[in-house]
């Protein structure tokens, strides 16, 4: 859970500082950890590591392509190299070397990039990396992590050293609120629920996690309950957590300091479109470059604030309620259970039988063999529950079915519901 002081008196610290602390700690624990930099040692917070372990620090100069290639060679010899530069330079300038010498060979190089996003501020558009998540998550074998605060950044750095293969770590320049605790769990690939809610799910990474918590608080004041998820690992993304959240709330907003194309929002959209389609809005930079300015005013200008998340949440809730299946009138929902769904929503059982109505599903459950039933209902999924939720619109019935793995119990639930619908 988020620190309770987060809204009253938040401690401010840049995520790049967490990286510096993490790699310095790693250096004392693992002699195979080495650090390489492209003439930005102080800015990327590598000074501590350099001073403690000068024999394991390499300054390659303004040569980001060499930075990646040398690190790959060191990784082949058993080292765990961390390469550091600004995000716009690494992976911005050395993407091909990262792809070919690091990812293609699947070696454990950790790419630690700082000064990401528009919060880089006065440095302007040329130094504001807004496309780096898209670049990195598109490459095979790459893991992508975007910590939400300095504490999580330190944990992510330490975890990355133990993690197999290449890892991309994205850090910011600006000091941002500390919202996690030293004792908070961090696991690569696992999204963390910071706040429970039932009306809308907000999935965020990096600096926008804090803004999402603020947005959730504002929504509460208007009677709307928002779930907030810190999705620090963009790849591999936690599909199970996203699907469960979407089924629970029926509407999703993503928030990130990155282009809306190719980043967290796109990754979440891919998961939902294939597994649990629900209304979605993406908060991020809308297909434009940055510009010079103070970090706070740029975040506001590009719509990266709690207010923008609140607006998106309200829009998506309206869409959810207006969609087929989210009926204000319960009788209308019950009528949907008895009618035939559109042809494109017919349910096809393993084996070929097509189901067009819930009564047909009930009859099919009674006669299908165990192999077919367990194909559709197992630890990973409940296809019947998902179909009823997505195509028939009865979320409560879908949840009742999802809780059950016994076929007879599912049949009884359906019979009871259909009996009520016929009255």
- Active-site residue set: 64
User: Given this model, what pLDDT does residue 331 score?
Assistant: 47
351: pLDDT strictly greater than 60: yes
Which of 86-95, 174-183, 243-252, 341-350 has the lowest average pLDDT?
341-350
Q: How confident is the model over 344-358, as a mean pLDDT?
A: 87
pLDDT score of 370 more than 50 = yes
Q: What is the mean pLDDT of residues 172-200?
A: 96
Nearest-CA neighbor of 107 among 135, 154, 75, 73?
75
Give the distance, in angstroms, between the CA of residue 175 and the centroid of all CA atoms in the same chain.
22
> 96-117, pLDDT tens digit by residue?
999 999 999 999 999 999 999 9
Q: Each residue of 385-421: pLDDT tens digit?
A: 988 877 777 777 888 888 888 999 999 999 988 888 7
Whether residue 22 contacts residue 155, with contact meaning beta carbons closer than 8 Å, is answered with yes
Residue 236, preceding peptide bond in cis (omega within 30° of 0): yes
pLDDT-derived band of residue 7, with 50, 70 and 90 as boundaries?
low
Q: Average pLDDT, whole number, for the chain?
A: 92
pLDDT score, position 335: 57
Cα 417 to Cα 32, 95, 407, 421, distances in angstroms = 62, 56, 16, 6
How does pLDDT run across 266-318, given as a tens digit for each residue? 999 999 999 989 999 999 999 999 999 999 999 999 999 999 999 999 999 88
Residue 297: the pLDDT is 97
User: What is 192-322's CATH number, 3.40.50.300, 3.40.50.720, 3.90.1010.10, 3.40.50.920?
Assistant: 3.40.50.920
Tell me: pLDDT of 322 over 80: no
The greatest distance separating any two alpha carbons of the chain, rounded to the nearest whole angstrom, comes to: 80
37 alpha-carbon distance from chain centroid: 28
Every domain of the chain and the residues it spans? 12-176, 192-322, 330-422
How much of the chain, in percent, has pLDDT values that exceed 70?
94
Contacts by 350-354, CB closer than 8 A, 24 or more apart: 350/375, 350/376
Asked if the model's pLDDT at residue 35 lies above 60, the reply is: yes
pTM of the model: 0.78
pLDDT at position 325 is 46
* pLDDT value at residue 390: 77
What's the pLDDT at 334?
54
Assigned fold of 12-176:
Rossmann fold (3.40.50)
* Range 99-105, long-range pairs (CB < 8 A, 24+ positions): 99/139, 101/68, 101/69, 101/72, 101/73, 102/68, 102/71, 102/72, 102/75, 102/166, 103/139, 103/140, 103/141, 103/142, 103/166, 104/140, 104/141, 105/72, 105/76
């Amino acid at each position: 859970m988020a620190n309770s002081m987060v809204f009253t008196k938040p401690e401010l610290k840049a995520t790049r500082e967490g990286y510096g602390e993490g790699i310095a700690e790693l250096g004392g624990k693992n002699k195979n950890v080495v650090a390489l930099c492209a003439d930005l040692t102080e800015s990327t917070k590598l000074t501590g590591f350099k001073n403690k372990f000068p024999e394991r620090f390499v300054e390659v100069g303004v040569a980001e392509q060499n930075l990646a290639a040398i690190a790959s060679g060191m990784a082949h010899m058993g080292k765990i190299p961390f390469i550091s530069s600004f995000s716009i330079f690494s992976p911005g300038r050395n993407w091909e070397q990262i792809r070919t010498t690091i990812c293609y060979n699947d070696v454990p190089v950790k790419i630690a990039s700082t000064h990401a996003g528009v919060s880089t501020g006065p440095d302007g558009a040329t130094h504001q990396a807004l496309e780096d998540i898209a670049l990195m998550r598109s490459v095979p074998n790459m893991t992508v992590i975007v910590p939400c605060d300095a504490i999580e950044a330190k944990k992510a750095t330490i975890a990355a050293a133990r993690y197999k293969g290449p890892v991309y770590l994205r850090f910011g320049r600006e000091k941002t609120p500390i919202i996690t605790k030293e004792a908070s769990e961090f696991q690569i690939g696992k999204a963390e629920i910071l706040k429970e809610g039932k009306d809308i799910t907000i999935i965020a990474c990096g600096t926008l996690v804090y803004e999402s918590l603020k947005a959730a608080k504002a929504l509460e004041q208007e009677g709307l309950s928002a779930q907030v998820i810190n999705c620090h690992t963009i790849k591999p993304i936690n599909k199970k957590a996203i699907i469960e959240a979407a089924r629970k709330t029926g509407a999703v907003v993503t928030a990130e300091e990155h282009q809306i194309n190719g980043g967290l929002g796109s990754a979440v959209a891919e998961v939902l479109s294939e597994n649990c389609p629900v209304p979605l809005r993406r908060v991020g930079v809308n297909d434009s470059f940055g510009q010079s300015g103070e970090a706070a005013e740029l975040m506001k200008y590009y719509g990266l604030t709690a207010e923008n998340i609140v607006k998106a949440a309200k829009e998506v809730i309206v869409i959810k309620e207006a969609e087929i299946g989210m009926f204000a009138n319960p009788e209308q929902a019950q009528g949907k259970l008895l009618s035939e769904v559109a042809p494109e929503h017919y349910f096809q059982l393993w084996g070929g039988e097509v189901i067009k109505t819930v009564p047909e599903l009930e009859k099919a459950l009674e006669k299908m063999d165990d192999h077919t039933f367990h194909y559709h209902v197992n630890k990973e999924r409940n296809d019947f529950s998902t179909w009823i939720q997505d195509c028939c619109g009865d979320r409560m019935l879908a949840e009742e079915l999802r809780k059950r793995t016994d076929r007879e119990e599912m049949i009884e639930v359906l019979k009871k519901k259909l009996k009520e619908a016929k009255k």
